[in-house]
């Protein structure tokens, strides 16, 4: 799907750090807490077709497949290096996951698969405003009517402590792309894209700022 391999921020902010991603994320984000909450919120079922936008090393798609082995799970990411890590993890786990190379703003091309749930974690804080907007809109367009959107990402940083801790992420991923998230832009973009019942379901403080889970529905 993707023609451009350069115009994205790699998983840990720099391509050389990508192999360290899984260990770093475990320490820096209270990963078990927010990922388990996200999987519970997504509640994958056998009949679901779920696309994970910016799937990275594939941790979330593997968790979803474990809960619902018959579900169709697709991981989408523009970075061939991170997709190789994800494919290797899926192979080691012996599970069948469809991996596609592509940007968030291209995900509507998967609509023909009958997508019931579009999910994403820790992606939009890394992307420029134009890609946040286009990505959320493309997730809306990819979904079947009444399909669900589930996002976990750094959201509104509500306290001085969380704003201070979030500066570590801003140093890694750049101030320009991360600031709109910290100011709480994601739910607004979801509503603008046409999602209804947009809800911030939980806010989880972490050593690098607070991570919010969002749930919305295609009207
Ligand atoms: C911080 S990692 C998160 C990976 C994974 N979702 C997770 O929860 O561990 C961000 C991922 O988003 C991908 N990415 C960056 N820009 C993107 C874009 N415009 N569209 C889709 N994915 C993008 C990166 O390649 C990277 O794998």
Instruction: Using the mean position of ligand 1's atoms as its centre, give its distance from the Cα of residue 55 in Å.
Output: 6
Which residue minimizes the CA distance to atom 14 of ligand 1?
Answer: 54
Task: Tell me the residue ranges of DSSP E strands in the chain.
Answer: 49-53, 72-77, 98-101, 115-121, 143-154, 195-206, 209-218
Q: Token digits for 160?
A: 């001085």
By alpha-carbon position, which residue is closest to atom 18 of ligand 1?
103
Query: pTM surpassing 0.85?
Result: yes
DSSP 8-class letter at 207: B
Give the residue with greater pLDDT, 13 vs 88.
Answer: 88
The pLDDT confidence band at residue 1, using thresholds 50, 70 and 90, is: low
pLDDT digits (tens, 9 = 90+) for 129-146: 999 999 999 999 999 999
Bridge-based pairing of strands 143-154 and 209-218 is antiparallel
Q: Which atom in ligand 1 lies closest to the alpha carbon of residue 77?
A: 22
- DSSP conformation letters of 27-40: HHTTHHHHHHHHHH
Using one digit for the tens of pLDDT, what is the confidence trace for 163-208?
999 999 999 999 999 999 999 999 999 999 999 999 999 999 999 9
Note the pLDDT tens digit of each residue in 2-61: 444 447 888 888 899 889 999 999 999 999 999 999 999 999 999 999 999 999 999 999
Q: How far is CA 106 from CA 25, 29, 49, 101, 211, in A?
A: 26, 28, 17, 10, 25
Q: Is 103 in the pocket of ligand 1 (CB under 6 A)?
A: yes
Q: Which residues pair with 99 in a beta bridge?
A: 75
pLDDT, the chain, mean: 95
CB of 107 within 6 A of ligand 1: the answer is no
Residue 94, class by beta-carbon neighbours within 10 Å (0-12 exposed, 13-18 middle, 19+ buried)? exposed
Please report which confidence band the pLDDT of residue 110 belongs to, taking 50, 70 and 90 as the band edges. very high
| 51's tokens | 């696309």
Q: How far apart are CA 87 and CA 93, in angstroms?
A: 10
pLDDT for res 191: 98
Report the separation in Å between the CA atom of 61 and the middle of ligand 1, taken as the mean of its atom positions: 13
């Amino acid at each position: 799907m993707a023609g451009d391999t350069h115009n994205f921020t790699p998983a840990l902010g720099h391509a050389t750090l990508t192999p360290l991603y899984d260990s770093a994320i475990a320490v820096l984000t209270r990963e078990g807490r927010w990922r388990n909450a996200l999987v519970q919120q997504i509640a994958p079922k056998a009949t679901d077709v779920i696309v994970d936008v910016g799937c990275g090393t594939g941790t979330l798609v593997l968790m979803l497949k474990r809960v619902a082995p018959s579900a169709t799970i697709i991981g989408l990411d523009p970075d061939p290096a991170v997709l190789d890590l994800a494919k290797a993890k899926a192979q080691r786990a012996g599970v069948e996951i469809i991996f596609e190379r592509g940007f968030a703003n291209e995900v509507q091309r998967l609509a023909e698969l009958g997508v019931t749930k579009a999910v994403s974690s820790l992606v939009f804080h890394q992307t420029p405003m134009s890609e946040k907007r286009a990505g959320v809109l493309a997730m809306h367009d990819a979904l079947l009517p009444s399909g669900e959107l589930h996002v976990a990402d750094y959201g509104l940083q509500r306290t001085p402590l969380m704003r201070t801790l979030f500066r570590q992420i801003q140093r890694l991923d750049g101030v320009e792309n991360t600031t709109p998230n910290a100011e709480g832009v994601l739910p607004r973009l979801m509503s603008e894209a046409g999602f209804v019942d947009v809800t911030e379901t939980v806010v989880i403080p972490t050593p690098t700022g607070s991570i919010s889970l969002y749930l919305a529905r295609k009207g």
